[in-house]
Amino acid sequence: MIKYLFTVGLIFVLLECVQGQYEDVRCKCVCPSVKVHNTTSHKVFLKTFSDPDLCRCSMVVDKAVQETEYNFCNKCECKWNRRNTTTIKVVVILIICVVSLLVLYMLFLLCLDPLMARRPKTYIEQHNEEVNLDTQSIQPGGMLEDTTRPRGAIMMRVKHEVSRVRGEQQKWKGTVQEQRRHIYDRHTMLN
Amino acid sequence: METDTLIEDMASVQAHYRAVSANGTVSERSSTDEEMLDIATDTRFEYTDLADKSHGSTNLMDTLDDLPPGIGQYDDFHTIDWLRDISRDRIRHRQISKRKQDSCFAKVKVAHDAWSGWVCVLLVGCATGAFAAVIDVGTSWMSDLKEGICLEQFWFNREQCCWAVNDTTFDQNACSQWYSWSHLFGVSESSVFGSYMIKYIMYVLWAMVFATLAVMLVRVFAPYACGSGIPEIKTILSGFIIRGYLGKWTLIIKSVCMMLAVSAGLSLGKEGPLVHVASCCGNIFSYLFPKYGKNEAKKREILSAAAAAGVSVAFGAPIGGVLFSLEEVSYYFPLKTLWRSFFCALAAAFVLRSFNPFGNDHLVMFYVDYRNAWYLVELIPFIVLGVFGGIWGAVFIKGNIRWCRYRKSSNLGKFPITEVLVVTAVTAILAFPNPYTSDYQRNLTDATTDFTSANIDSGVTRAMWQLALALVFKMVITVFTFGIKVPAGLFIPSMAIGAIAGRMIGIGMEQLAYSHREHYLFKEMCHSGHTCVTPGLYAMVGACATLGGVTKMTVSLVVIMFELTGGLQYIVPLMAAAMTAKWIGDAFDKEGIYDAHIKLNGYPFLDSKEEFTHTTIAADVMRPKRTEPPLCVLTQDSMTVEQIEAIMRETDHNGFPVIVSAESQYLVGFVLRRDLSIAISSARTNHDGIVSNSVVYFTNHVPVNTVVGGPEPLKLRKILDMAPVTITDQTPMETVVEMFRKLGLRQTLVTHNGRLLGIITKKDILRHIAQLKNQDPDSILFN
């Protein structure tokens, strides 16, 4: 839940700071090189138009350049493009977030989890700490909803939730283990 | 003798009737009669239907008033029974519409039921479009990360970074805002060697980082996310259960790792995996609608539509996607699904288009726009390209399958991560020096590279060399890449190979036409100031031909290609190339790469394209064979819970035929192992009267006198399939195979003179087909 809120907040922050430096519409004309070289290199002319109808070679390329060669504009190819910088920004940052979250979780599963599994006692202690933090952060909302409920009941419920989540995680791990066995050990699938 | 038993049986039923009328109330009797009618008119019945009707009767009908959850579902790696699922849905639908007049709420319910399929595919389409947009943007950004970074706005790829900068020359495609790694590390562009080396090293390094991330994420979170996914989806759509293959984790990991793998510069594409991603969306959204989520056969309608949406966004070809789903992926494709696929592909393409991920108002990065005409003479090189495509397809399938088989059986399979890293390193090191391989698909089908035909010069010669090297490199590396344990599609590398070959032939043709301008063949082709031949068109045709050779698609491929190019005038060249490629490819081997992979993995896929031409009969295929112990059966009213549990412990059959009695062997129905075990265990926990000695009844009517003193009987009529498909032992296998294909059967029972003789399952048929083809029948792994 907190993760969702964070993501939504992030998106809003990003939406706020849209920058105008990078234009979102352009007219791009690709023309043969003005000077005759040995190789066929091309020249690109750009201009910002909001109206796609204005995207013509005669509007984009300088008059001086146009006159260097007869029928210069006939050889040009003009295209009107539009993009949304905000979308790109949000998407790329989202991807970075997702990849880094996955990598962190992967490192946790690969390095810390086996260590904890070996010493179950410390593991439980650490876990309880996490639970306390969670309850504190959740408490205000919970208290508003149900003020008469004693703290112990909430604790119980949280503990129950946590054990349920642990169970789910264990189940998921078992499933992945099974999939790994199919693919990497027995080679019965996806060869 | 048999008639006697039958009459006796009828008599006992009559007697029981009398007992019921004597003991029970009117409502009980009417419910029983209605029940009988229901059986008579509607051979396939619905569990909830019965539960409703038996409501109120004092446990006369069945021990399990509400069936425990899980009945009607399937285990992992099992084949579904299309007939049973579809009839279940039909009965559910009938029930809902019967109550239509009852209340306003019921009317809303009916309406919801009617439009839920459309809503579901709409959601699937939108989700697929969004995923594709994210993947497209991410891939282009990450790919360019190998070469440099846009310092001021790091989220832009190179093209976006130089979006509004004037004075960019087309060849360099760089600008002052774009910092290459060598520039960033302070190596001046003047020391050519130094900056080149830095660029080279950074390229390889990033490729390795991306590949490592991809393979590790796949291994840790979702092993099912590796590979292309199309063979598995084909198998799933043909009615097979692979739990978790279309799950949430697979969706996330496949999307992320697809970007990483493509960005790593590996010779793979994201089109096949996009179909998998779309199918995952289909599966996840179908759980919002119980009509689809709880019925595997109905769910496959949504998955077919989702596959169409996947191709729709991968190539920006909505109609091509629908045809792809129809031609290549789907197994059961009624018209209703066609329309839904159409709608789903439309929604997906619309959402992707509104994201506009490439900033060019097109759905794909490599959109090409040709206006040049083609001439009849050019059909010859097009057909040559088709031949090339067919031969390459056959070689690729052979080589790739051999390599995959080697990986499966040798020690190589034990080092999947090392393999990916080695392939990535080799690809990156060899690809970087060649401009045609270092960049993702961008150069290959570019329309704008040649405006006028010119004489052969140093530039063209060099380009030809580079193209030739790129072709050989791509051909070799793709064989080794497809099948490594990262998400890997096949479309783009195949198309790239074809495009390179096509461009080479195109340039050759251009030079030929240019140097023989006056020849009568080329006279009309070379107008003044105009190019004689468009090499880009050849690249397109070549791409179509190789893809046709590899996947053995025809119609959908051509439609995809012309949707990609937006030029209807090139249909004939594309058709000619695709058809030639298919003919040539079929001459070597009839199956496409996906079918070959299905066979390699031994998935239970009964191909509806293949013909069965042998003269065997059902008795030859049926189990048990003559040497085997007799068929494991249950009797309808004489076995105890303990006995049934013992049978289930001792055997691993997935279902048991139920017969009248051991003497008569008359067939009553068929019960699935999963349903039986769930029903018995839930009855044991929920009903105190059920003990090991309880007699299990699959009949409607339990003799009342048995209840006195003895243990309570367990009535399991609800889970019994009363209308199993049966054939006689003399039925030719041709017919049987056709029945399995057309009806989507899971098993059929074999009878002789009305008595149960044996059973034929889908697996038996696949084994039989493999045996007739002189292949190892044990290669079919799953049930």
Give pLDDT tens digits for B621-669: 888 888 888 888 888 888 888 888 888 888 888 888 999 888 888 888 8
Contact state of B166 with A48 under an 8 Å Cβ cutoff: no
C-beta neighbour count of A158 within 10 angstroms: 17
Give pLDDT tens digits for B28-47: 333 334 333 333 333 333 34
SS3 B498: helix
Residue B113 lies in a domain: no
Helix H or strand E segment including B301: helix B296-315
Domain boundary, last residue among B37, B59, B81 = B59
Counting the structural domains of chain B, the total is 4
| DSSP per-residue string spanning B526-562 | --TTS-SS-HHHHHHHHHHHHHHHHH---HHHHHHHH
B157's tokens: 């790829």
| Contact status of B213 with chain A (Cβ, < 8 Å) | yes
Beta-sheet pairing, B639-640 with B178-180: unpaired
* CATH number reported for the structural domain that contains residue B650 in this entry: 3.10.580.20
Same structural domain, B450 and B347: no
In this predicted structure, the answer to whether residue B747 has a pLDDT above a threshold of 80 is: yes
Contact state of B156 with A88 under an 8 Å Cβ cutoff: yes
Residue B528 lies in a domain: yes
| Contact status of B774 with chain A (Cβ, < 8 Å) | no
Same structural domain, B535 and B498: yes
Distance from CA of A76 to the nearest CA of B (A): 10
Distance from CA of A4 to the nearest CA of B (A): 16
Contact state of A46 with B448 under an 8 Å Cβ cutoff: no
Domain boundary, last residue among B566, B601, B636 = B601
Range of the domain at B249: 121-353
What local confidence, expressed as pLDDT, does residue B612 receive? Answer: 83
Residue B198 lies in a domain: yes
Contact state of B361 with A82 under an 8 Å Cβ cutoff: yes
Residue B105 lies in a domain: no
| Contact status of A88 with chain B (Cβ, < 8 Å) | yes
Residue B391 lies in a domain: yes
The separation between CA B168 and the C-alpha centre of its own chain, rounded to angstroms, equals 44
| Contact status of B215 with chain A (Cβ, < 8 Å) | no
Same structural domain, B413 and B349: no
B561 compared with B189, residue with greater pLDDT: B561
Same structural domain, B590 and B705: no
In this predicted structure, the answer to whether residue A22 has a pLDDT above a threshold of 60 is: no
Please state, in angstroms and rounded to a whole number, the distance separating the CA atoms of residues B345 and B128. Answer: 9
Overall average pLDDT of the B8-20 stretch = 42
Contact state of B252 with A98 under an 8 Å Cβ cutoff: yes
Give pLDDT tens digits for B683-728: 888 877 778 888 888 887 776 655 556 677 888 888 888 888 999 9
Domain boundary, last residue among B10, B25, B59 = B59
Distances from the Cα of B22 to the Cα of B26, B63, B703, B704, angstroms: 10, 21, 13, 11
Same structural domain, B533 and B451: yes
Residue B101 lies in a domain: no
Contact state of B222 with A179 under an 8 Å Cβ cutoff: yes
Same structural domain, B596 and B661: no
B655's tokens: 């279902």
Q: Which of B164, B167, B485 minimises the CB distance to A23? A: B164
What local confidence, expressed as pLDDT, does residue B707 receive? Answer: 53
Residue B361 lies in a domain: no
**Model's pTM, two decimal places?**
0.83
What local confidence, expressed as pLDDT, does residue B409 receive? Answer: 87
Same structural domain, B573 and B710: no
* Residue B414 with chain A: CB contacts under 8 Å: 184
Same structural domain, B703 and B568: no
Please state, in angstroms and rounded to a whole number, the distance separating the CA atoms of residues B422 and B404. Answer: 16
B750's tokens: 């074999």
Contact state of A106 with B163 under an 8 Å Cβ cutoff: no
Shortest CA distance from B134: residue in chain A = A91
Give residues 121 to 140 of A whose Cβ lies within 8 Å of B.
none
B461 compared with B707, residue with greater pLDDT: B461
| Contact status of A95 with chain B (Cβ, < 8 Å) | yes
Q: Which of A84, A102, A175 minimises the CB distance to B256? A: A102
* CATH number reported for the structural domain that contains residue B468 in this entry: 1.10.3080.10
Same structural domain, B640 and B591: no
Q: How many CB pairs under 8 A join A and B?
A: 162
Give pLDDT tens digits for B528-555: 555 677 777 888 899 999 999 999 998 9
Give residues 228 to 257 of B whose Cβ lies within 8 Å of A.
232, 242-244, 249, 252-253, 256
Least confident interval from A5-19, B89-103, B556-570, B712-726: A5-19
Contact state of B160 with A88 under an 8 Å Cβ cutoff: yes
Mutate to test the interface with A, among B140, B166, B461 (most CBs of A within 10 A): B166
- Strands annotated E in B168-210: 178-180
| Complex ipTM value | 0.81
Q: Which of B220, B416, B781 minimises the CB distance to A106? A: B220
% of chain B residues with pLDDT over 70: 82
Same structural domain, B432 and B332: no
By the 8 A CB rule, do A46 and B165 touch? yes
Shortest CA distance from B461: residue in chain A = A39
Shortest CA distance from B597: residue in chain A = A191
By the 8 A CB rule, do B354 and B513 touch? no
* B304: nearest Cα among B167, B165, B430, B124: B124
Cα torsion angle, A85, A91, A94, A100, sign? negative
Residue B591 lies in a domain: yes
By the 8 A CB rule, do B348 and B128 touch? yes
3-state SS, B436-447, equals HHHCCCCCCCCC
Overall average pLDDT of the B462-478 stretch = 88
Distance from CA of A149 to the nearest CA of B (A): 34
Give pLDDT tens digits for B115-151: 899 999 999 999 999 999 999 999 989 988 988 888 8
Same structural domain, B53 and B128: no
| Contact status of A184 with chain B (Cβ, < 8 Å) | yes
Distance from CA of B36 to the nearest CA of A (A): 44
Same structural domain, B631 and B577: no
